[in-house]
A and B are shown apart, each in its own frame.
Chain A
Amino acid sequence: MKQTIYLAAINEALREELRRDEKVFVIGENVQQGTFGTTSGLVQEFGKDRIMDTSLAETAVAGAAIGAAMSGYRPVADMMFADFLYIAGDEILLKAGKWHFVHAGKVNVPVVVMAAMGGGMKIGAEHSMCPEALAMHSPGLKLAVPSTPYDAKGLLKTAIRDDNPVVFFYNKGLLGLPGEIPEEEYLIPFGKADIKREGSDVTVVAISRMVHLSLEVAEKLKNEISVEVVDPRTLEPLDIDTIIASVQKTGRCVIVDEDNKRCGVTAEIFAQIVENGFDYLDAPIQRVAAADTPIAAGFLEKHVLPQPEDIEKAIRKVME
């Protein structure tokens, strides 16, 4: 194993896949320098034709990647902030997502759309979102939301090799997160949740940065409550079986995510647990998610986005 950090793991996944398959290329605004460091340093090895700086035009970035994917390439489109996916909604949601289906399987779109999501920088409503539900709601798209360097690298490599369009949301709040990854190559399959901490009293299903907040709370409560933290890692496909198995063991569940509560990922996971594991529950499921408002900036951000105290409160509530 070797030490790395989250953004470097993403960078390494890109580098390895660019080396492995000449059909892979990276396209986006300022990707040669890299706004968040995830694509930095690649142009020096792969050149400007494979690490392409574009104009400021998200529709064109996503569209060019999707069109090239339909024409035999395996592009990775970097959308910078996840909030900017909305600008290319037609291309990503209505074309990449739907076209394999509506054209009877004759058309493939092996594209990766990656973007940085998440709050913590206090930069407000249009630069802090976790629009996971947008992708999860749209049939045809896969969705990866890694929480560790290990997961980020393994999932991104799988995403690039997948013949379907994949949205890969990495988290701005985790860029510098340290962690270990194997020296040798590895892949992580989609649809396999990871138990980040074992416990017996309550299951906390947590996504992306919320995994770390939940682990922090689990550690704090360890002498009182034994918390199991389950990280789905991909939301489509969603490993509901692992979640249900955990709930069967603990009988209690809290779901934590940074997207909006209403129609957010927590709502979907909640529904699937109730549909598949209602009898295992000893208490109503609690959800911790962003308030159903736009994300306020500055001092107010913390009143909109989920905080460790909210997670602790929810855990105590299900334990009542």
Chain B
Amino acid sequence: MKLGKEDLISLYRKMVRARKMDELTIRGLQEGKVLSFYHSNQGSEALSVGGAAVLKKTDYLWAHHRGHGIGALIGKGLDPKGFIAEHYGKVTGSCKGISGFHMAEPEDGILGAGGTIGYQFPLALGNGLAAKKAGKQQVVLACFGDGGSNRGTLHEAMNLASVWKLPIVWVCDNNGMAQYTPIKDTYPKEDIADLAAGYNMPGIVVDGLDIMAVYEAVYEAVERARKGDGPTLIEAKTARYRSHSEGSPDVSHTQTRSQEEIAELKKRDPVESFKEKLLNQGILTEEMVAAINREAEEEAAAAEKFGVESPPPDPSVIDNLVYR
């Protein structure tokens, strides 16, 4: 799979947009515009954007909870306005302000999001089953974290997905942490991808800070799934630059993560390092970088304005909504 110049620029643009939206959401929380809470995606953009960018509109996507799916939404080509408005609790949000921070865009293969980490495994299994039955070459990209990989639902779903040879790509965002608990204390091996062997599917470890590596690995796995060759497990080693959720302590068990540790992780910032690479290769120029930044800022400002100016939902939006 060879990414062309335009593809690379498009990926970079999406990463910058995802970062700006993340910053906007953090600010919104601080300013009281975001009503619920927020789990920043910073450090994980190469994976969230790059993985979803491989998909077609008709493919299914279960975004990882980090960033409440913002990277994946942008990666798949969605307008982030509905994301911001949802976080602001407004009626123009993806779910009219009812979910608060979960997106649902069924037309684009996003069938919702849940609050219980690991909920997505069995549902993705069902999407894969439906995709196979329908025979339309759709693929399911099911994203989760290292913490999520500890859930028992993973076993049940991965097992059957392999038995049934379903078109599912399991993508693990391993940032080393699950809230305050490091994965090294909850999983006995180095690589979560090693789980794949037990389910007789390929298990691939990829540099999750390198969007090209992510894109290529996901692309291969998606092609394989589309051909009917069954699921793949991809583990991307990413980083978490901020605390688990905004305002919560940044600790490993009870030990505060040091500034040095975070600075070390940031040395390979996925957005910055991709920019450097594309500048070095002459694919991007400084002018282009500035323009992309400006556009992303304008987009964020427009989304903010849209969110602020949109009305809150009338309480009647939830009337008669429990059943169809």
Bound pair (A, B): yes
A residues neighboring B (CB under 8 Å): 29-30, 32-33, 35, 43-44, 48, 53-57, 59-60, 83-84, 86-87, 121-127, 292-294, 296-300, 303-304
Contact with A along B313-324 (1 / 0, CB 8 A): 101011001100
Residue numbers in A under 8 Å from B97 (CB-CB): 296-300
Query: Chain B: how many interface residues by the 8 Å CB criterion?
Result: 39
List 10 A-B pairs, Cβ < 8 Å. Answer: A55-B178, A56-B118, A57-B152, A84-B116, A123-B100, A296-B98, A297-B100, A297-B101, A298-B35, A300-B318
Minimal beta-carbon separation of A7 from chain B (angstroms): 15
Q: How far is the CA of A175 from the CA of B99 in the complex (A)?
A: 24
* Contact (Cβ within 8 A) A298 B89: yes
* Contact (Cβ within 8 A) A55 B321: no
Which of B71-79, B160-168, B219-227, B248-256 lies at the interface?
B248-256
Minimal beta-carbon separation of A38 from chain B (angstroms): 14
Q: Within the complex, which residue of A30, A55, A83, A297 is in contact with B187, where a contact is CB–CB below 8 Å?
A: A55
Q: How far is the CA of A132 from the CA of B22 in the complex (A)?
A: 36
Residue numbers in B under 8 Å from A87 (CB-CB): 116
* Contact (Cβ within 8 A) B179 A35: yes
* Contact (Cβ within 8 A) A303 B318: yes
Q: How far is the CA of A296 from the CA of B36 in the complex (A)?
A: 11
**Contact (A55, B180) CB under 8 Å given A298-B100, A299-B35:** no
**Contact (A125, B115) CB under 8 Å given A56-B150, A297-B35, A297-B100:** yes
Q: How far is the CA of A54 from the CA of B147 in the complex (A)?
A: 10
* Contact (Cβ within 8 A) B150 A122: no
Q: How far is the CA of A43 from the CA of B181 in the complex (A)?
A: 14
B69 within 8 A of A: no
B37 within 8 A of A: yes
Q: How far is the CA of A125 from the CA of B113 in the complex (A)?
A: 11
Q: How far is the CA of A299 from the CA of B311 in the complex (A)?
A: 11
* Contact (Cβ within 8 A) A123 B36: yes
* Contact (Cβ within 8 A) B249 A56: no
Q: How far is the CA of A33 from the CA of B243 in the complex (A)?
A: 13
Residue numbers in A under 8 Å from B117 (CB-CB): 56
